[in-house]
Structures are given as C-alpha cells and as structure tokens.
C-alpha cells in the first residue's frame, strides 16, 4: 500500500500546485481592467447573441470559481466575481462558459458523449474504489478468490468509466476555451494585453482538468495492477 500513498501524494501535490497557480493567475488578471467597460454578464450575453443563442440565460451563482454551464436548464452560471467584474479574468471565464453553450447548440460530439456519461459516472464513482478494495479483501482475507476477483474487476470497470469521463472532458474544455478566445479576439472585445491575460488564465484552468485526468488514469492503472498483476 506504500505505492498507493506515494501516488496519492504526488497527485495531491500536482493538484495543489495547479489549483494555487490558477488562483494566483485569476487574481493577477482581475487587476487588468477591460477598456470596453463590460462586465462578465454582459460579455456572456453578447457572445450568446452573436451566436444566435436566445434560449440560454446568464445568471449569478455564489462562490469563487464555481462558474459552469448547465445544459439541463440552459443557464450560464457565473460566480459573483465574474458576473459583476470588468476585467480580463471575468472576460475569459464568461466567454469560456458560453463556449459550452455554443457546443451544446451545435451538438459538439465530445460534449454529447460527456453528457451521456454523466448519469453513469455519478453512480459508478461512488462505489468503484470500494468495490476494488472490497474485492481484494474478499479474495485474500475471506478465502473467496473467485468472487473477490469478480467484484474487484467490476470496480475496475466502474473506475474505468470515470477515467474515460475525465479524458472526454479535456477536448470539451479546450474547445470551449478556443471558442471563447477566438470570439474575444475577432469581435475586439478585449485589447491585446487583455487577451494575453485571458489566454493565460484559461490555460491554467485547463490544466486542472488535465491533472485530474492523469490522476484518474494513474489510480486506474495502480488498482488494475493490484487486481490483475498476480493472475497467471
């Protein structure tokens, strides 16, 4: 189990570094005020209008970095700091979340795949690791190797769904950022300096998803070795 704790430590450290860097970047670019005077909500609404999307609402949501697009009720949810602020960070986040709304409107294939996996992953993620650990214990300690192996492999399958979900999330997030930055630049919403800040902020936001995906893959491989490594 020492290897497991080392792996957890490495993943946690990477996640901490990226998360804290992201917060610093957003704080830095929140001081780069937009010359056009638009706040996040106004930018989001304009981007929706420019793409002919009129059935999506822009609303404010509590918290920091809690911004997201909800395809169920078609809302772009912007944290209070993004909704009301007029800076490069707010512009980046607002446009990124609308990027997801554009993906939804255009039936972007990776977003469609991700949405279909949400109900499955929401259930499998709760039980996957417990099934793997329980299967290993059942096989080794309870003298039921066959049943234990089946339970553990079932847990691996659930864990694999979560890993797949993490990697499908990557093109969804990167594409939303690319759509956002292209629109911000082409519509002259931001200046060159403001655009550079928006790019850097979104780059670090994307890295949080990359670290999560790599962490999920590492965990899957580790437990797969524990379950299947000793098989003849």
**Is 97 considered catalytic here?**
yes
For 194, other C-beta atoms within 10 Å of its C-beta total 22
Given a contact cutoff of 8 angstroms between Cβ atoms, the answer to whether 61 and 77 are in contact is yes
Burial of 54 (0-12, 13-18, 19+ CB in 10 A): exposed
Pick from 129, 150, 130: nearest CA to 139:
150
3-class secondary structure, 130: helix
What DSSP designation does 71 have?
Answer: T
Catalytically annotated residue among 42, 80, 97, 185: 97
- State the Cα–Cα distance between residues 232 and 212, nearest whole angstrom: 32
**What Rg do the C-alpha atoms of the chain give, in angstroms?**
21
Active site residues: 97
């Amino acid at each position: 189990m020492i290897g497991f704790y080392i792996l957890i430590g490495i993943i946690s450290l990477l996640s901490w570094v990226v998360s804290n860097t992201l917060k610093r970047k957003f704080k830095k670019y929140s001081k780069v005020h937009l010359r056009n005077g638009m706040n996040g909500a106004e930018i989001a609404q304009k981007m929706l209008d420019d793409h002919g999307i009129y059935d999506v609402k822009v609303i404010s949501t509590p918290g920091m970095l809690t911004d997201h697009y909800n395809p169920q009720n078609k809302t772009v949810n912007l944290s209070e700091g993004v909704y009301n602020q007029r800076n490069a960070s707010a512009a980046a986040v607002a446009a990124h979340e609308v990027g997801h709304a554009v993906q939804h409107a255009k039936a972007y294939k990776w977003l469609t795949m991700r949405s279909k996996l949400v109900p499955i992953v929401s259930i499998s993620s709760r039980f996957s690791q417990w099934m793997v650990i329980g299967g290993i214990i059942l096989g080794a300690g309870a003298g039921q190797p066959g049943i234990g192996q089946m339970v553990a492999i079932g847990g691996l399958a659930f864990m694999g769904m979560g890993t797949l979900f993490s990697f499908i999330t990557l093109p969804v997030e990167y594409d939303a950022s690319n759509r956002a930055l292209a629109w911000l630049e082409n519509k002259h919403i931001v200046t060159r300096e403001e655009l550079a800040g928006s790019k850097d902020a979104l780059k670090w936001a994307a890295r949080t998803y990359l670290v999560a995906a790599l962490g999920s893959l590492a965990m899957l491989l580790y437990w797969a070795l524990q379950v299947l490594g000793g098989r003849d």
